[in-house]
């Protein structure tokens, strides 16, 4: 029965991959057609405005992960243009809460992701977008139709984007798309570094929400309250986990239960704490402590209080990766080279290739390293 289930899962994954490829090819084909109709979209090389006082980032996407992947770009822009106000046009509903404490961030312009009145809300967001004249506007990813629309309709002196064969937006500054695979959080930083002729260090790219001390204290308090143990030190004993993911990214409950049985046999003093996606979500195991925090920042702060965080391939995995806590990411349907955690002491596990008991052994190694300080944690292998 297990073999049949895995076979069906692999068949669904192949079908999903084929469907995604069709959508990607159709989008790029449309882009190439528009590029041919509009002619060359990059003007002759010119100097960027100086000084840069206002910047717009156009990333019209409703996923938490893709919004989190903008945080290294925002940090890099603030380093390069410390006096600039950085506005962000995005459609993740919680984007303003996520991004508002990052240095330099001004407005977060909310485009609709779904729901009633989509066209009316989209037009309202476009009007808001056009109320400001920007020194620089950036479309940070190579193949985003929404980003190109926003970039084309905003008011900006310079427009920066990737110079792909399907690029039809009216760019003033381009960079060639790099060959091979580049992580989706590193790619926007690379674009800006190339455009500003700045040194680029992909190993330095990190996600961050710039949590306040008050938020961190509240997150720790919420975690301690959920565990209900006197004198509990979560940074020493708490292993947080998020077991939920959408569609083919989900890891089955049987795998999780087998994993936890193996890990607790190896580390009996470890305290599992499950983070739930909704107040009425059923926990994986009622013996484990669990909690739900509606706010993504509050959730991140509670994760930051753990010793380690294990997550399926979902938005909370990126929240965990934005903290100093060692993050273990369980992948089964997407490519971790593009979407995985970035810290050197994080770990990626392909659950289609690694059995639960072996995953527990790998996690134990990270768990033990995480108790010896940041310097030793940095020696943990990535993508083992």
Ramachandran sector of residue 268 (left: φ over 0; alpha: ψ -120 to 50; beta: rest): alpha
Percent of the chain predicted with pLDDT > 90: 78
User: In which band, very low, low, confident or very high, does the pLDDT at 165 lie, cut at 50, 70 and 90?
Assistant: confident
Does the pLDDT value for residue 13 go beyond 70? no
Does the pLDDT value for residue 36 go beyond 60? no
Does the pLDDT value for residue 222 go beyond 50? yes
Is-contact 87 56, C-beta < 8 A?
yes
Task: Give the mean model confidence (pLDDT) for residues 282-296.
Answer: 97
Q: Tell me the domains of the chain and their CATH numbers.
A: 54-204 (3.40.50.2000), 213-377 (3.40.50.2000)
Question: Which has more confidence, 94 or 32?
Answer: 94
Closest CA relative to residue 159, chosen from 60, 76, 37, 56 = 56
Look at the pTM and tell me if it is higher than 0.85: yes
Residue with tokens 């795998």: 255
Is-contact 69 185, C-beta < 8 A?
yes
* For residue 51, cis peptide bond before it (omega within 30 degrees of 0): yes
Is-contact 209 300, C-beta < 8 A?
yes
Closest CA relative to residue 153, chosen from 63, 106, 89 = 89
Is-contact 333 16, C-beta < 8 A?
yes
Does the pLDDT value for residue 4 go beyond 60? no
Question: Which has more confidence, 32 or 332?
Answer: 332
Does the pLDDT value for residue 266 go beyond 60? yes
Does the pLDDT value for residue 381 go beyond 50? no
Q: What is the mean pLDDT of the chain?
A: 88
* pLDDT value of position 377: 42
Q: Which two tokens stand for residue 195?
A: 């455009």
Per-residue pLDDT tens digits for 100-118? 999 999 999 999 988 888 9
CA distance 105 to 92: 16
Does the pLDDT value for residue 374 go beyond 50? no
* pLDDT value of position 284: 96
Q: Dihedral of CA 239/244/245/251: which sign?
A: positive
Task: Give the mean model confidence (pLDDT) for residues 33-61.
Answer: 75
Question: Which has more confidence, 207 or 10?
Answer: 207
């Amino acid at each position: 029965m297990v073999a049949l289930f895995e076979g069906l899962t692999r068949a669904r994954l192949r079908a999903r991959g084929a469907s995604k490829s069709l959508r990607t090819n159709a989008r790029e084909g449309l882009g190439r057609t528009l590029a041919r109709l509009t002619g060359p979209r990059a003007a002759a090389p010119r100097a960027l405005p100086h000084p840069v006082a206002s910047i717009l980032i156009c990333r019209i996407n409703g996923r938490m992960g893709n919004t989190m992947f903008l945080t290294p770009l925002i940090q890099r822009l603030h380093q390069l243009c410390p006096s600039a106000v950085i506005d962000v046009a995005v459609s993740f509903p919680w984007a303003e809460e996520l991004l508002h404490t990052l240095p330099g961030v001004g407005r977060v312009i909310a485009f609709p992701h779904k729901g009633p009145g989509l066209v009316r809300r989209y037009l309202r967001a476009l009007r808001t977008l056009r109320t400001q004249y920007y020194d620089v506007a950036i479309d940070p990813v190579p193949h985003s139709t929404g980003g190109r629309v926003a970039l084309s309709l905003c008011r900006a002196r310079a427009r920066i984007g990737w110079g792909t064969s399907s690029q039809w937006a009216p760019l003033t500054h381009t960079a060639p798309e790099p060959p091979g695979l580049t992580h989706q959080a590193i790619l926007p930083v690379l674009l800006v570094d190339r455009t500003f002729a700045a040194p680029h260090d992909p190993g330095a790219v990190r996600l961050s929400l710039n949590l306040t001390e008050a938020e961190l204290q509240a997150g720790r308090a919420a975690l301690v309250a959920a565990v209900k143990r006197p004198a509990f030190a979560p940074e020493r004993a708490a292993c947080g986990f998020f077991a939920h993911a959408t569609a083919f990214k989900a890891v089955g409950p049987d795998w999780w239960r087998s994993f936890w049985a193996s890990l607790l046999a190896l580390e009996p003093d470890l305290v599992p704490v499950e983070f739930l996606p909704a107040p009425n979500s059923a926990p994986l195991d009622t013996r484990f402590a669990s909690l739900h925090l509606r706010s993504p920042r509050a959730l991140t702060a509670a994760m930051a209080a753990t010793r380690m965080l294990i997550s399926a391939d979902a938005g909370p995995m990126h929240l965990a990766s934005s903290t100093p806590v060692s993050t273990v990411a369980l992948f089964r349907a997407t490519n971790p080279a593009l979407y995985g955690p970035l810290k050197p002491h994080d770990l990626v596990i392909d659950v289609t290739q690694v059995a639960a008991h072996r995953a527990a052994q790998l996690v134990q190694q990270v768990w033990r390293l995480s108790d010896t300080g940041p310097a030793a944690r940095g020696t943990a292998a990535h993508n083992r």
